[in-house]
């Protein structure tokens, strides 16, 4: 049973379609954000990835500024900043700057993973492994730089001090659930590709949550792949793009996003591969009626406060239409609560 209003948001990876350009892809990201704003989506987050020819979301803070500058009300942020890649001081300065430019609209989601391969992680930051193991301490540094109490410190991110930039802890296993609960911070789980520990991690977070100056009760977000169209068949056709993308990740044969095709028997069998099943478990695919049923079942099972949808589609027009239909689904669910 769902007895609360559920927020809905978008996670953007800026994946380049085959035959497309990064410029077009980033422009399309903005078009989707502007459409989402008009559809009452709560936030629009960019992921961080590196050393991938077909993913445009590597300079996360710059993209946040690009979208925030060209929208009015939707929250914009990181889903997330992979903190071991960065100096906490520099991240505080970047997001403090964004907070001054776009007050009360910037979110800072923090993750522990590199968002790339190990060789690139070393190229980004030579002490990456040390920083990854020190993730809780790195988060504390970020909190310190944003605190008004840091004015007397020897090292300061003055532009960040006292700004309103909510922190979110991201996770794809159970580790970060403990940290988010201990700090009393909101917790976002990457169940759009890492489904195995979702329920366990949410349970840990709720059991261990300690109220803080930021939250008096737990707040959870969960990532879901969302493909909504006029019919189940059309949604499944759009979904073939994501199936092929995940399969290419598993096989190492990476390419730009493929145009959708009919859902062939070969693709149906491909989805049965255990690794793909794990990655795609939390996917809403179908017409509004079908997706509404899937969403209600997911919300009843997880009791999350917010769904953050990612829709890896070839054409931006299909993404915008899917976003509109999903917003209608969520509005109907919330009206019934």
C-alpha 337/C-alpha 332 separation (Å) is 9
For residue 247, the model assigns a pLDDT of 86
Q: Which pair of structure tokens corresponds to residue 210? A: 């300690």
Domains annotated on the chain, with CATH:
7-238+283-336 (3.20.20.30)
Burial environment of residue 19 by CB neighbours within 10 A (0 to 12, 13 to 18, 19 or more): exposed
Helix (H) or strand (E) holding 191: none
Mean pLDDT, contiguous 10-residue spans, the chain (337 residues): 88 94 97 98 95 90 98 97 94 98 98 80 76 90 97 96 98 95 98 96 98 96 98 97 88 82 89 89 98 98 98 97 98 93
Q: Are 10 and 40 in contact (CB under 8 A)?
A: no
**pTM of the predicted model over 0.85:** yes
For residue 1, the model assigns a pLDDT of 66
Q: Are 49 and 116 in contact (CB under 8 A)?
A: yes
Q: How many CB atoms lie within 10 A of CB 173?
A: 16
């Amino acid at each position: 049973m769902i007895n609360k209003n559920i927020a809905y948001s978008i996670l953007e990876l800026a994946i380049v379609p085959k035959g497309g350009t990064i410029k077009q892809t980033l422009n399309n990201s903005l078009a989707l954000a502007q459409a989402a704003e008009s559809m009452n989506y709560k936030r629009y987050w960019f992921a961080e990835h590196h050393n991938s020819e077909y993913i445009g979301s590597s300079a996360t803070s710059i993209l946040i500024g690009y979208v925030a500058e060209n929208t009015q009300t939707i929250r914009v942020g990181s889903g997330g900043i992979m903190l071991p890649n960065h100096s906490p001081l520099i991240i505080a300065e970047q997001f403090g700057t964004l907070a001054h430019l776009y007050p009360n609209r910037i979110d800072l989601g923090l993750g522990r993973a590199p968002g790339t391969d190990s060789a690139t992680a070393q190229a980004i930051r030579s002490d990456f492994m040390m920083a990854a193991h020190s993730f809780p301490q790195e988060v504390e540094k970020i909190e310190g730089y944003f605190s008004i109490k840091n004015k007397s410190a020897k090292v300061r991110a003055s532009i960040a001090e006292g700004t309103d930039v909510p922190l979110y802890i991201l996770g794809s296993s159970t580790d970060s659930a403990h940290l988010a609960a201990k700090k009393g911070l909101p917790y976002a789980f990457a169940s759009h590709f890492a489904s195995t520990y979702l329920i366990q991690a949410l349970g840990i977070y709720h059991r261990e949550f300690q109220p803080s100056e930021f939250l008096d009760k737990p707040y959870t977000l969960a990532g879901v792949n969302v493909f909504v169209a006029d019919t189940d068949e059309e949604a499944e056709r759009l979904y073939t793009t994501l199936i092929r993308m995940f399969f290419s990740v598993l096989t190492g044969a990476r390419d730009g996003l493929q145009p959708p095709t009919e859902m062939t028997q070969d693709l149906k069998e491909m989805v049965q591969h255990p690794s793909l099943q794990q990655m795609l478990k939390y996917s809403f695919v179908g017409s509004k009626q079908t997706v509404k049923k899937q969403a209600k079942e997911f919300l009843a099972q997880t009791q999350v406060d917010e769904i953050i949808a990612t829709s890896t589609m070839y054409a931006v027009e299909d993404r915008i239409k899917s976003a509109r239909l999903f917003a209608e689904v969520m509005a109907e669910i919330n009206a019934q609560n």
